[in-house]
A = this chain, B = another copy of it.
């Protein structure tokens, strides 16, 4: 029996890890047990995360399955939430955050609950989050019993309400909530936040650990790394280089670039046909050896990568879907989504070369033992989180030193850019979706009505008993058919041009949802540098320690700028090619229409 709760008030998520609630909304709970006033659950939009326990009422009646699949909303958040493990470095103390009360939603009279103070998570030692070894069994996502009829997938272009990023607009890619994007600006309203303004200037005498349990800077391991607490043995194979390109830091190019096709999604069954799932054929260009992978394998890989790389934007996977998973339309869309994802994976110098991805691309599908070995190895990887930063080597020497103020301004500029780009991609997605819907419905209907009326006239003319008008009647009938066909052209067109644009936009919306966290880590590091400077001036910190902090912040900055550079590069490449594709398809479409009309026109030559 699923545990459910009903939201008593609206709640707007303010930090990553939290989810928004709407009054009366029914949520499924991960556990009835609250932790310091917070519950974890999945809201009606399928977002999983934390919310104040006092904002909901647990429903005791027996309930159906939760309305949306309860997959983790944040790929780097393990499904069980942050489980209290044995702390390696002391406990975080609860902090006073009374001032957050001023952000209380007007409908909710309760005081804003204090965020629960969890013991810190040890860096690089997350419990294996997804995929136990028996991953062929617990496949909630892309398998079902044979009796499971595929659900009906309403219109391909559903009415788009445009309100809120968490609605139907999130489309085919898993997106973080929009609120993350505005996190930077919103965080600055949080007076208690030690990374911003007043918080850091308070009484603390030493550079303290960040007390905000939900800070990406902490979660990612960025803070621990900057403070010099990360340690691990970096093998040669793990080394990542940032180099100085003509426009600043770049990831060192992959010396062996490759691509990987994703084709032939096929339905496969196991347990003597009791379970079925879709497998995709992957052929990496550098091996030429095909392997078959299921969505759950992609999902596992995504989880690994998102956990391992704090300042890299791991492309989001196309959205999970509970119903209609075996419908051709859905399978085709998912295949295209996975192909986009794969393209971005292969294009990224760091992601393309990482071990888990290599394993995913090359391990023979039939060798289950090898698969499990590689999987376990990837899950035991110690170079994640804080340790990941140890693997980055950056240009050295005075010429290569970054001006941190300059970096800050660049990152701020990029933040404004991502915000604006996110808004405009949302807008374009909305427009494209509406435009597609109109073509499939209204435009088609209008042209076909014209066709119908011409046909009607031709039928009337056929009653005229005049042999000399037979060719006119035929020409009119043909014109009617031509407009009918043009109506069909309109309806079929979005699949050719708007759908790929929307796929691209969805992929980029995923990236844009990643960047606030990335920016957050860099900003956190920068704040630590500023703090340490002040502490040195005040004689409260040794210069050597501050230098270490600055050097490590330098590494994070190099990586961040390299990632920003990579983003711009693929963005320009992708939008150029996609706009070209779109316009070419539009041109072909209008040419096809013109051709049809010309055919109709010629019918009148002999009248």
Contact = CB atoms under 8 A, between A and B. Distances in A.
A590 interface: yes
B572 A421 contact: no
Contacts of A323: none
Q: 3 tightest A-B contacts by CB?
A: A420-B460, A431-B453, A424-B460
A108 interface: no
A417 B421 CA distance: 61
Interface stretch (A265-273, A300-308, A395-403, A576-584): A576-584
A600 interface: yes
A452 interface: yes
Given A449-B431, A579-B475, A417 B601 contact: no
A157 interface: no
The complex is assembled from copies of this chain, and their number is 2
Contact of A460 (B423, B472, B598): B423
B476 A453 contact: no
Interface in A551-607: 568, 571-572, 575-576, 579-580, 583-584, 586-587, 590-591, 593-594, 597-598, 600-601, 604, 607
A434 B449 contact: yes
A102 interface: no
A568 B464 contact: yes
Contacts of A575: 457, 461, 472, 476
A257 to B, nearest CB: 20
B469 A568 contact: yes
Interface stretch (A224-232, A234-242, A331-339, A438-446): A438-446
Interface string A466-502: 1011001001100100000000000000000000000
Nearest to A464: B417
A312 to B, nearest CB: 19
A434 B464 CA distance: 28
A428 B446 contact: no
A254 interface: no
Interface in A405-434: 410, 413-414, 416-417, 420-421, 423-425, 427-428, 430-432, 434
21 contacts: A417-B463, A417-B464, A417-B465, A420-B459, A421-B457, A421-B460, A424-B459, A430-B453, A432-B450, A432-B453, A443-B443, A457-B575, A466-B568, A468-B568, A469-B572, A472-B576, A479-B579, A580-B601, A587-B597, A587-B598, A590-B591
A595 to B, nearest CB: 9
A435 interface: yes
Interface in A138-197: none
Contact of A424 (B453, B479, B593, B594): B453
B443 A413 contact: no
